[in-house]
Amino acid sequence: MERLLAPLKALLIFGLALHIHHHVHGPPFDYGALALASAASWLGLPGPGEPVLIAAGVLAAKHKLDIVSVVAVAWLAATAGGAVGWVIGRAGGRTILSRPGPLHTLRLNALARGDEVFARAPVIAIILTPSWIAGIHRVGTATYMITNAVTAVIWAGGIGIGAYFAGPVVIDAVQDIGVVASAGLVLLVTATIAVEIVRRRRKARTAAAQDT
């Protein structure tokens, strides 16, 4: 557990250094709310991470907050939230999902398929799934922490600075991205189901031909 908490300690030290060397402009409560929202979103909870970050960026544009502090706080909190979610999933998620009970076989099959996906494309899988999913599938510490931190800084910097310069226009862009991602996910699932149906039909035809 000490090895798993080392990245969180490093983030804490970095945050303290940032606080000491950079003057934070604006009410501490606003930064606290931003940190909580960012951490909750990256923990895997449906939360107000993006809207709060956009609001903070707009406030920074109005000189009520400091944009460097906004991006730094959002990044640190998101990275920490993702790390905590990963630790939670790694510590107990797999045990819970593999426990005997209702839908046991289905849950085991889902775990096996997830393991295959994370083994083939761990970085993409980390980006597209909640943090605790990566923990359940036992993604390595270095792979997860680096991907989590890099993705978080892109998220914090992209949305925060975008809101700083573009203001409320960013809200529409984020919503459009969400719609596109949702549509893509639906198409992917539909295509997967279609391929599976075709595969099973071909297998059934082959078996019938062999019987005759």
Q: Write out pLDDT tens, residues 115-170.
A: 888 888 889 889 888 888 888 888 888 999 999 999 999 999 998 998 888 765 65
Say what the pTM is. 0.66
**Average pLDDT of the chain to the nearest whole number:** 76
Residues 62-114 have pLDDT tens digits of 888 889 999 999 999 999 999 999 999 888 888 887 788 888 788 888 888 88
**Residue 87 one-letter amino acid:** V
Q: Within 10 Å of residue 157's Cβ, how many Cβ atoms?
A: 16
Q: Alpha-carbon distance 57 to 144, whole Å?
A: 27
